[in-house]
A and B are shown apart, each in its own frame.
Chain A
Amino acid sequence: MPKIEVPESMFFSLAGRSYSDDQMMDIFPVAKAELDGHEDGVVKIELNDTNRPDLWSAAGVARALRSYESGKVPHYDFFSSKDKTMDSAGRVHIDYESALGVRDFSISFAASGCTVTEEMLINLIQSQEKLCQNFGRKRKTIAIGIFRSDLVKYPVHYIGADPDKTSFVPLGMEEELTLREILEKHPKGREYGYILAGKDRYPYLYDDKGDTLSFSPIINSAYLGAVKVGDKDLFVDISGPILDDLLLTANILACDMADMGFTIEPVRVHFAKDTKYGRELTVPYYFQEEACCAVADVEKTLGLALSGEECVKALARMGVDAYVKDDVIHARCPEWRNDFLHAVDIIEDIMTGHGLANFEPVMPAAFTKGSLSPVEEYARRVKSLMVGLGFQEMMYNYLGSKREYVDNMHVSDGNVVYIANPMSENYEVVRPSILPSLLESESVSGHAVYPHRIFEIGKVCYKDPSDNSGTTTRDKLGFLASEGQVGFNEASSYIQTLMYYLRKDYKLEAVEDDGRFIPGRAAKIVCGGTEIGVYGEVHPQVLESWGCSMPAIMAELDLDAML
């Protein structure tokens, strides 16, 4: 989940009031946020809603709190829409066909009238980072560049450029490099170059003088892209393959910057292909659609009869303009949001805006019958028998290493389920059997008073071509006994006792070629023609591999097969 840090003074100024820690803890949940810490004048906030990127900045959280407290929806006057186009005053941004298939869209807007402070700069970079990393899937779908607009000569041009014939001095370096060299040499190139893998042209943004703005989504130019404290005029570019995501990002940044005191200056963007908004539009642009919800559905979902008027009031506290017509709530999605997928999304806002504390808990009325799963009931019977036989129940992790589950057991790994992306070789195999878990216990428990008698009832997983997944998960009983003298006969007695009380007729068959057991001292347990388990004396090679110093017997039974 995204986390942000913001200077207390800036945050309280954006929120329009100051808060104590307790007050922040109480109110932050309305913005799906949590107070993560507050020290040395810095407020740390954790954001939980992954579908609300507008809340991943201090300005966004502050905006949500302002509406909630005042019940008033904030309004911004710089948005164009399908009905209204703002004056872009000659600021033009042209996307060319050469970028299609590489990174289809680049859009922008400008901002002026405010001096960039250090706090502001840090905050802007932080918002930019969160949007690109989380919402923009590590710059894959959204990359943001911020530039010094006083130096930019319009129109700006966005093309798919030849990687070897285009060069500039990237931010953070002093020499001029080609786009291809930047991918190889610049840290950001190495980090994000994968996004452009396989492309024969690279996205490139430059102004009408020919000065480079950026090699999007990798790096800005050292000249136009070096924004610093004291700058007054900014140009914001957003590039990516999904136009709505770019428009939303532009809207969020524009609102945040307006809240900080900037005047937003729209830019006219020309696209290289048809979009649902036409071939050109003026950014920031209100592209969202109205969402609707029947008043009756609010009561059905929330269990409280709210009037249309109460719903509209609650939505206003969430920053949403709405009206009721013919018992249907019409909600205008705010410019900085795009999360009304379904009527339930409006209902949740009504719930939060109305205040969760105003909903009295009530138990569901319908009667239902409770029950344990059949295997759980069976497992409990088996468990009580094992305890009666003097065994200690253990519980183990299900992930382990090949060394533990395969090599130490002297078995093949033909049926073992491996993880394709293990974090470490200690956790790369799902256990195919309980027996290695029991032996691990032995290997670390030499200090525990003997005799050792341990068991576990748990799941194992191994390959099974007959299943849709090619694997099967089984509930198994595994047990092990270890002391100075212990042998096959004792194991046979345990099995016989268990099977008697579980009412299972069984016969034994010899085990061939099983590295886990001493040859001639192991048996397969067969019930009605089905093999349900195996037991025997642990082979000394297995004990040696595990570093165990006492002889042991062990057994494993398939409870699913015995049910």
Chain B
Amino acid sequence: MDIEVKKLHPLEVRLLRHVRLGQEITADRLVDELGYKVGQCNQAFSWLSAKGCLEESGRVKHVFYELTETGRAQAEAGLPVERIFKYLAAEAPKSLPEIAQALGLQQSDVGSAFGSLTSAKKAALNEERKAVLTSDSLPDEVIIQRSLIERAKESAIEESALSAAEKAAISKLAKKRGAAASTFRLVEREDVTYQLTAKGDEVRQALEEGGITGEEFGQLTATMLQTGSWRNGTFRPYGLDAPVSRLVPGRTNAYADYLCWVKDKLVSLGFEEYDGPLVVNEFWNGDALFMPQFHSARDIHDVYYVKDPSHCKKIEEPWLSRVAATHEDGGGTGSRGWGYTFDHEFTRRQVLRSQSTVLSATQLPHAKVPGKYFGIARCFRYDQVDATHGADFYQTEGIVVGEDVNLRNLLGLLKMFAQEVAGAEEVKYVPGYFPFTEPSIEVHIKHPVLGWFELGGSGIFRPEVTKSLGLDVPVLAWGLGIDRMALMHLGLNDLRELFTPDIENVRMRRGN
């Protein structure tokens, strides 16, 4: 048998256990005998038919009369004819318009109701053309209608159960479809008769043998616990392969989780987090880092300029004078400088932070010795937005300040980042170039999934940078390209997806 009896719904179980082969099974029967609601009957029929336990054996059409909204109102207030009869019995003769106004009825309704009274010889118009009763009883037909309305208040009346007189009486109150304000409406219903199939009978026997009654508890309730009634039965088992409904939980963002994880790693390695504003001036974004003011990366096609205020009010001293001197002739840093005239207007120009190294530059005058700092900073570049370039993106970087730090310490740090943050198997160092570090090193790692790639850039800040900003000790500086690792971590391959506004997309995203 392909049906697991334990998984049948109680409505199915109770039905199957209630019937025998050859019996007619109808909704009416289940309502009467099992107390099902009509909807529950239909559920049980449709489920068991689909499983091949029941088959249709007959289909009968029934016509019913049921009260409309108007009909329910008339059941309480009376049919127009009843109300007119009662009114005339209590009042002096009245003209038809007077009756209509007094009872709040349409003239036409009054006309037709009065017409039925006169044709049954129960009322007439006097010589003043006012209505008077000529009998103290309502027409028989109206009496029948009243009794039908009373019956219909309980449940719809089946047409086949009506006598000829009743049929005639009710048909006058059930106008054709579309007519307004009739008392009854006609409803057609098909009653289907089912029979148990051989398979259904097998299932029924299996249910009996398994002792499954369909009366098992569905839900443990507080009342059951209070009364102890849970002891009197067993609980219906759940099917384990039933579809599960979806929950939408409150959740952190998977990319943010990754950034938090990186931050926690760096904190655990002894780094202190720093942060800064999105709008910075050329001084901190480039000049303080000994990038010459004519450097191509500072071009209008590489950096976003702020429209207003286009320039900051001032640059802090003594840093401005020292940095300017360093650019011009080395300014006592041991350098010969770039040998050009420092532009004091340009240096105040404001840009959107284009590299996270700004944070290091602004930290240097306040740095502790020894000290380790890091930042994850949103930066902006003048780039066409595509799968590998965002208008804004995160950079991760940091510095290590110490009396005796040197290149080999830098390599040691890079190795640790490669292993701890990137999970690298092998590490390779190559000479690199950055305007603010010398020596400069790139670190390449062999990642278990991505293969060899550049993890980041690093170096020892040039003395032109550190000495101008008041530090006479070496400063190791490093930056990690964690975007790529974040993409891999999230199973993505388009940078734009890191900042997607699509809620469903973010809800479904998982880290690794």
Contacts and interface: CB of A to CB of B under 8 A. Distances in A.
B25 interface: no
A469 interface: yes
Interface in B70-96: none
B309 interface: yes
Interface string B461-490: 011100000000010100000000000000
A469 B378 contact: no
A-B interface, 10 closest residue pairs, ranked by CB to CB distance from nearest: A303-B406, A303-B408, A470-B309, A29-B430, A366-B370, A361-B411, A473-B277, A370-B267, A348-B439, A448-B504
A137 B294 contact: yes
B11 interface: no
Contacts of A420: 304-307, 310
5 contacts: A302-B407, A348-B440, A356-B431, A430-B278, A471-B350
B129 interface: no
Given A390-B249, A471-B309, A441 B431 contact: no
A300 interface: yes
Q: Which of B266, B277, B295, B501 has the most CB of A within 10 A?
A: B501
Contacts of B246: 449
B295 to A, nearest CB: 7
A26 B296 CA distance: 28
Contacts of B507: 392, 448
A395 B335 contact: no
Contacts of B415: 361
A541 interface: no
Given A370-B272, A396-B501, A448-B507, A421 B382 contact: yes
Contact of A393 (B256, B404, B431): B256
A277 interface: no
Interface stretch (B14-22, B33-41, B154-162, B383-391): B383-391
Contacts of A368: 270-272, 368, 370-372
B281 interface: yes
Interface stretch (A45-53, A231-239, A308-316, A526-534): A45-53
Given A137-B296, A383-B252, A427-B385, A471 B275 contact: no
A363 B413 contact: yes
Which of under 10, 10 to 19, 20 to 34, or 35 or more describes the interface residues of B? 35 or more
A444 B504 CA distance: 10
Given A361-B408, A393-B251, 6 more contacts: A362-B409, A368-B370, A370-B270, A444-B501, A451-B248, A471-B277
A347 interface: yes
A435 to B, nearest CB: 13
Interface of B: 246, 248-253, 255-256, 260, 263, 266-281, 294-297, 300, 304-310, 312-314, 330, 333-339, 350, 352, 368, 370-372, 378, 380, 382-385, 390-392, 400, 402, 404-409, 411-416, 429-433, 435, 438-442, 460, 462-464, 474, 476, 498-499, 501-504, 506-507
A46 to B, nearest CB: 11
B368 to A, nearest CB: 8
A59 to B, nearest CB: 20
B408 A302 contact: yes
Contact of B433 (A48, A447, A449): A48
A563 interface: no
Interface in A384-428: 386-399, 417-423, 427
A352 interface: yes
A391 B438 contact: no
Given A351-B407, A395-B499, A421-B382, A48 B278 contact: no
A364 interface: yes
Interface string A346-388: 0110011000110111111111111111011000100100111
Contacts of A437: 501
Interface of A: 29-30, 32, 48-52, 134, 137, 141, 244, 300-304, 341-345, 347-348, 351-352, 356-357, 359-373, 375-376, 380, 383, 386-399, 417-423, 427, 430, 437, 440-441, 443-445, 447-449, 451-454, 459, 461, 463, 468-473
Nearest to A341: B335
Contacts of B308: 417-418, 463, 470
Contact of B392 (A141, A303, A398): A398
Contact of A301 (B368, B406, B433): B406
Contacts of B314: 468
A364 B402 contact: yes
Contact of A417 (B268, B279, B378): B279
Nearest to A471: B279
B263 A48 contact: no
A34 to B, nearest CB: 9
Contacts of B383: 423
B281 A373 contact: no
B309 A49 contact: no
A352 B402 contact: no
Nearest to B295: A50
A393 B266 CA distance: 23
Nearest to A473: B277
A423 B342 CA distance: 28
B502 A391 contact: no
B314 to A, nearest CB: 6
A356 B429 contact: yes
Contacts of B416: 363
Given A29-B431, A303-B406, A364-B412, A397 B251 contact: no
A28 to B, nearest CB: 9
Contacts of A444: 501-502
A469 B277 contact: yes
B352 A419 contact: yes
Contacts of B384: 423
A303 B409 contact: yes
A375 to B, nearest CB: 7
A468 B248 CA distance: 45
A372 B250 contact: no
Contacts of B501: 394, 396, 437, 440-441, 443-445
A417 B503 contact: no
A423 B502 CA distance: 24
A344 to B, nearest CB: 4
A465 to B, nearest CB: 9
Q: Which of B252, B335, B431 has the most CB of A within 10 A?
A: B431
Contacts of B266: 370
Nearest to B496: A397
Contacts of B249: 390
A224 to B, nearest CB: 31
A58 B471 CA distance: 40
Nearest to A245: B339
A452 B462 CA distance: 51
A52 B431 CA distance: 14
Contacts of B300: 421
A448 B413 CA distance: 44
B292 to A, nearest CB: 9
A472 B503 contact: no
A399 B380 contact: yes
Contacts of B305: 419-421
B306 A471 contact: yes
Nearest to A391: B250
A293 to B, nearest CB: 10
B267 A363 contact: no
Q: Which of B309, B378, B503 has the most CB of A within 10 A?
A: B503
Contact of B406 (A49, A300, A386): A300
Contacts of B251: 387, 392-393
A348 B371 CA distance: 24
B248 A359 contact: no
A352 B433 CA distance: 12
Nearest to B385: A427
A388 B431 contact: no
Given A303-B409, A348-B431, A356-B430, A470 B312 contact: yes
Contacts of A345: 438
B256 A423 contact: no
Contacts of A347: 438-439
A395 B382 CA distance: 21
